[in-house]
A and B are shown apart, each in its own frame.
Chain A
Amino acid sequence: MGLREFDYGPLVSVEGGSEETIRERKRQWNELRPLFMRTRMVSQAAGSSYIEAENSKVICSVSGPLALTGGRTEAIERAKISCYISRTKFCGLEDAELEKRATTEYEGILCRALESIVRVEQYPKSTIEVHVLVIEDDGSTLPAAITCACLALADAKIELRELMACCSVAYANGQLLLDPTLGEAEKAKSPRFCPLQQARRGYLSLRCPILC
């Protein structure tokens, strides 16, 4: 368990308070956590994928291209990408307000990132829906969601310009930490970076600071 303890309601408090020392990072500053990635997780969806980075688990499914409904007039020559990010109630984040704010912002980031790699002009008058579920959150779930969404789009055979991978970096105690866990990201007092990198062409977008 990271910083966040289980919350048992207002009637009881956690023994010894809620401060907990962060476990010493066992890997190098520039080492990723052990990764597991798989596509075809949801056979009913057009495309789907799953990423697990030690304790962060994210699943994504893509539907589309679907016909655009309603009398929309804007952007008919290009596909519209809609992203929805949900979290399980037990994913590890407690503050409901923080979750709500961050989710809308994350959906926007995800949409913009995907719009630049999907060949939207190949799918006029349609919409592509990307649904992400964060099952367990131990830091770097937005980068995992972006990578997962890209894999799911590829699995759905939607035309992409190239593949995209994403990773975050935290700056804590004068030290850069790649792929920070929730505890490490909390400790980072300085702005955090979240570079998105395309396979060959270089950086797609950089954000600093970001709530990761």
Chain B
Amino acid sequence: MEVKVFERVHPREYFNLFSEKGIRPDGRSLTGSRKTAVRVGSIRTALGSAMVKCGSTTMLCGTTAKVINPTGAKVEFAPIDVNVELLPLCSAKYRPGRKPEESYHLQELVAQHVRRLVQPSSLELEFEDMMWSLSLDIYCLEDDGNMDDATLLVAMAALKDTRLPEILSSEEGYHVTKSRTRTVDFRELIVPVSFGVVDSRVVVDPDSSEEALCESKVTIFVDEKGSFRGLSKSGGSVTSKDLLSTCSKLAVQRAPALFSQLSN
């Protein structure tokens, strides 16, 4: 039987032929990640922009901002709205019409993450009751697996690249300066590292064909000092503590490469 036909008809057996020997169909080891690149500032019509390519998975993010009157008590988390669009452009999985469920999952994931990481004080204005509210618009240009990591990285990179104008007060009201120098400050940076579990073997940075075979997905969050900061595993098969600690160790190894990409 031809190789391509075998891959289509028996994807799990095809993958196992490789993983038994400790490698994957695209040539990586089980713990190897795809080349990840972060580029910022390519879109001049956005206040900040970034593009992340993780292998073939490509995410694009642009930020816009509005001045708002926050109601109520002191703002605990930074006011950032997130919109993730998974258009049919990026994969045959998504059809035109209703927004796919994955986009809501990614929106929530990014919103929870960045609202805690960004310092709300960096968005506050010296005029009473006014504050910057940011909007992140994330578009997937290609979905080849592991969108969680790519989406979180692109959101953080775009926020780091965002430059806001200053606001001046005069008798006509408030107006903004043409030059934009104000940055968005982070409390700290935390990166995600995602894993797939296929037949009880952990694979780092699964691509779309591997994601389809995963029985569960685990994401570990690591900070710049290399400490474990969080874990996310929703559903899937039962995993042992050993497997989760293996994931932690691998995540701590992978994190420095992601931080160096973010800081460039």
Residues of A within 8 A of B (CB): 1, 4, 6-9, 11-16, 41-45, 55, 57, 59-61, 63, 82, 84, 86, 88-92, 129, 131-133, 135-138
Distance in angstroms from A6 CB to nearest chain B CB is 7
Question: Contacts A44-B56, A90-B45, A90-B46 hold; do A84 and B96 have CB atoms under 8 A apart?
Answer: yes
Q: Which of B63, B66, B141, B168 sits near A90, CB closer than 8 Å?
A: B63
Question: Contacts A43-B56, A90-B137, A91-B45 hold; do A129 and B66 have CB atoms under 8 A apart?
Answer: no
Interface residues of B in 42-82 (CB under 8 A from A): 43-47, 49, 56, 58, 60, 62-69
Interface residues of B in 195-248 (CB under 8 A from A): 208
B45 adjacent to A131 (CB under 8 Å): no
Instruction: Tell me which of B31-39, B175-183, B254-262 binds A.
Output: B175-183
- The 10 A-B pairs at the shortest CB distance, nearest first, are namely A90-B62, A9-B66, A92-B45, A90-B46, A131-B89, A89-B137, A12-B174, A61-B89, A11-B67, A42-B142
A11 adjacent to B130 (CB under 8 Å): yes
CA distance A15 to B144 in the complex (A): 44
B149 within 8 A of A: no
Residues of B within 8 A of A (CB): 43-47, 49, 56, 58, 60, 62-69, 83, 85, 87-92, 96, 130, 135, 137, 139, 141-144, 165, 167-168, 172-178, 208
Q: Which residues of A contact B60 (CB under 8 A)?
A: 88, 135
A133 adjacent to B89 (CB under 8 Å): yes
Question: Contacts A44-B208, A135-B60 hold; do A14 and B176 have CB atoms under 8 A apart?
Answer: yes
A131 adjacent to B87 (CB under 8 Å): yes
Distance in angstroms from A49 CB to nearest chain B CB is 11
Question: Contacts A59-B89, A89-B62, A90-B49 hold; do A11 and B139 have CB atoms under 8 A apart?
Answer: no
Other 18 A-B pairs with CB < 8 A, given A43-B56, A89-B135: A7-B64, A9-B68, A15-B168, A15-B177, A15-B178, A44-B56, A44-B142, A63-B88, A82-B96, A86-B87, A89-B64, A89-B137, A90-B64, A92-B45, A129-B88, A131-B96, A132-B89, A133-B141
Q: Residue of A at shortest CB range from B97?
A: A84
Q: Which residues of A contact B175 (CB under 8 A)?
A: 12-15
Distance in angstroms from B58 CB to nearest chain A CB is 8
CA distance A132 to B173 in the complex (A): 41
A90 adjacent to B43 (CB under 8 Å): yes
Distance in angstroms from B22 CB to nearest chain A CB is 25
12 CB contacts below 8 A, A to B, read: A9-B67, A13-B173, A14-B178, A44-B143, A45-B91, A55-B45, A61-B89, A63-B92, A88-B62, A89-B62, A90-B43, A138-B45
Q: Which of B85, B90, B174 sits near A11, CB closer than 8 Å?
A: B174
A43 adjacent to B144 (CB under 8 Å): yes
Q: Which residues of B contact A14 (CB under 8 A)?
A: 175-176, 178
CA distance A91 to B143 in the complex (A): 21
Question: Contacts A1-B44, A89-B62 hold; do A42 and B67 have CB atoms under 8 A apart?
Answer: no
Q: Residue of A at shortest CB range from B68?
A: A9
Q: Which of B45, B60, B83, B174 has the most CB of A within 10 A?
A: B45
CA distance A86 to B144 in the complex (A): 21
Q: Residue of B at shortest CB range from A52?
A: B42
Q: Which residues of A contact B47 (CB under 8 A)?
A: 6, 90
B139 adjacent to A88 (CB under 8 Å): yes
Distance in angstroms from A113 CB to nearest chain B CB is 19
Q: Residue of A at shortest CB range from B137?
A: A89
CA distance A82 to B88 in the complex (A): 12
A12 adjacent to B173 (CB under 8 Å): yes
Q: Which residues of B contact A133 (CB under 8 A)?
A: 87, 89, 139, 141
CA distance A8 to B178 in the complex (A): 12
Q: Which residues of B contact A63 (CB under 8 A)?
A: 88, 92
CA distance A88 to B141 in the complex (A): 11
Q: Which residues of B contact A9 (CB under 8 A)?
A: 66-68
A6 adjacent to B88 (CB under 8 Å): no
A84 adjacent to B88 (CB under 8 Å): yes
Q: Which residues of B contact A43 (CB under 8 A)?
A: 56, 142, 144
Q: Which residues of A contact B68 (CB under 8 A)?
A: 9, 11
CA distance A60 to B69 in the complex (A): 39
CA distance A82 to B86 in the complex (A): 18
CA distance A9 to B62 in the complex (A): 17
CA distance A60 to B141 in the complex (A): 10
